[in-house]
């Protein structure tokens, strides 16, 4: 037997399409069906003689929803942690693979005129390290360093190096409706290592310096969210539900308990 779970209206520019979700107790699965439309004739509702669900049917549907939510948020959690596409200043990241970069010759810091510190003109005892060069007096912004043979000196930063994000920049041209969007492949991270060195690393070589949430915690969160009975999300619903029969039955059962 088929049971009505939810229904919604996809309100388009010219026409509206009406969808519903059915639960088949024989197969134990839910499916989305079009139950009406204004785009063509003969658009009367086609619920296939479905009836309102019982509390037991609603619970079976909720378990299916919990499994769906768990799969979605687990994938999203692993993407956010293991392959992030953006980061904020202060975030801790870890290098996934070794990164080789050129070493540039140090030049005097323009902020402190190469002194490495800021001196309070009204207090001779108030001397603070320069924020730009971190007290070194120089910044690596000159030409690439070369060894005795004339080859450019390169530094290899090992995998597992931890850094704190200072800034994230994207390279390329981006348009509001263009295909090119800022993401993991075209972002660069400026960060400071635990040793205090400031380096630039492509975002595609970094991950967050933490582990994804455990499956047990994600499952608990999925079960919590499943009690909202948002079954439309399983079938691409992008609108408010016109009717949520499952939620109404669950609410009535809870009130009667």
Q: Per residue in 164-198, pLDDT tens?
A: 998 999 988 888 888 888 899 999 999 999 988 88
With CA atoms as reference, report the closest residue to 129 among 118, 138, 139. 118
**pLDDT for 44 beyond 80:** no
For residue 176, tell me if it sits in a domain.
Answer: no
Given this model, what pLDDT does residue 136 score? 78
Composition of the chain by helix, strand, coil, percent to 5: 25, 30, 45
Whether residues 67 and 138 fall in one domain: no
**pLDDT for 113 beyond 80:** yes
Contacting residues for 161 by C-beta, under 8 A, at least 6 apart: 94, 95, 193
Is residue 142 within 8 A of residue 102, CB to CB? The reply is no
Q: How far apart are CA 164 and CA 148, in angstroms?
A: 34
Whether residues 109 and 51 fall in one domain: no
For residue 201, tell me if it sits in a domain.
Answer: no
Which of the listed residues 96, 116, 143 is the one where a domain comes to its end?
A: 143
**pLDDT for 35 beyond 80:** yes
DSSP 52-95: PPPHHHHHHHHHHHHHHHHHHHHHHHHHHHHS-S---TT-EEEE
Question: Residues 97-106: what's their mean pLDDT?
Answer: 86
**pLDDT for 43 beyond 70:** no
DSSP 176-206: TT-S---SGGGEEEEEEETTS-EEEEEGGGE
Which of the listed residues 143, 166, 196 is the one where a domain comes to its end?
A: 143
Given this model, what pLDDT does residue 204 score? 95
Is residue 59 within 8 A of residue 254, CB to CB? The reply is no
Confidence of residue 63 (pLDDT cuts 50, 70, 90): very high
Q: Per residue in 195-246, pLDDT tens?
A: 888 888 999 999 999 999 999 999 999 999 999 999 999 998 888 889 999 9
For residue 185, tell me if it sits in a domain.
Answer: no
Whether residues 110 and 76 fall in one domain: no
Backbone angles phi, psi at 59, to 5 degrees: -65, -40
Whether residues 8 and 78 fall in one domain: yes
Confidence of residue 82 (pLDDT cuts 50, 70, 90): very high
Q: Per residue in 127-176, pLDDT tens?
A: 888 888 777 788 877 678 788 888 888 889 999 999 999 899 998 888 88
Whether residues 129 and 77 fall in one domain: no
Q: What is the domain range of residue 108? A: 104-143
Q: How far apart are CA 219 and CA 226, in angstroms?
A: 10
For residue 27, tell me if it sits in a domain.
Answer: yes
For residue 76, tell me if it sits in a domain.
Answer: yes
Q: How far apart are CA 225 and CA 109, in angstroms?
A: 53
Q: How far apart are CA 8 and CA 21, in angstroms?
A: 9
Question: Residues 12-26: what's their mean pLDDT?
Answer: 90
Total of domains in the chain: 2
For residue 194, tell me if it sits in a domain.
Answer: no
* Helix orientation angle between 215-226 and 55-82, rounded to the nearest 10 degrees: 140
Given this model, what pLDDT does residue 8 score? 92
- List Cα–Cα distances, 189 to 97, 182, 204, 213, in angstroms: 15, 13, 10, 24
- For 37, the 3-state DSSP assignment is strand
Q: Residues 215, 220, 223, CA angle at the centre, nearest 5°?
A: 120
Per the model's pLDDT, the better-predicted residue between 119 and 219 turns out to be 219
For residue 95, tell me if it sits in a domain.
Answer: no
């Amino acid at each position: 037997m088929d049971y009505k779970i939810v229904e919604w209206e996809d309100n388009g520019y010219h026409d509206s399409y009406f969808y519903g979700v059915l639960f088949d107790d024989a197969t134990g699965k839910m499916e989305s069906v079009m139950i009406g439309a204004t785009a063509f004739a003969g658009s009367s509702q086609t619920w296939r003689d479905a009836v309102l669900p019982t509390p037991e049917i609603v619970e079976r549907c909720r378990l299916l929803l919990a499994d769906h939510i768990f799969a979605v948020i687990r994938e999203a959690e692993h993407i956010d942690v293991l392959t992030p596409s953006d980061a904020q200043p202060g975030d801790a990241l870890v290098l996934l693979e070794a990164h080789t970069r050129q070493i540039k010759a140090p030049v005097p810091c323009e902020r402190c005129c190469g002194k490495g510190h800021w001196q309070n003109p009204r207090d001779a005892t108030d001397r603070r390290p320069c924020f730009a060069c971190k007290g070194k007096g120089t910044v690596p912004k000159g030409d690439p360093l070369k060894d005795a043979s004339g080859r450019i000196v390169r530094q290899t930063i090992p995998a597992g190096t931890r850094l704190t994000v200072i800034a994230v920049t994207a390279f390329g041209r981006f348009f509001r409706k263009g295909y090119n969007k800022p993401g993991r492949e075209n972002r660069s991270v400026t960060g400071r290592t635990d040793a205090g060195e400031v380096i630039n690393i492509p975002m595609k070589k970094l991950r967050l310096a933490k582990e994804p949430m455990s499956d047990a915690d994600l499952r608990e969160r999925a079960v919590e969210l499943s009690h909202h009975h948002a079954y439309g999300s399983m079938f691409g619903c992008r609108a408010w539900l016109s009717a949520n029969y499952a939620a109404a039955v669950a609410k009535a059962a809870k009130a009667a308990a």
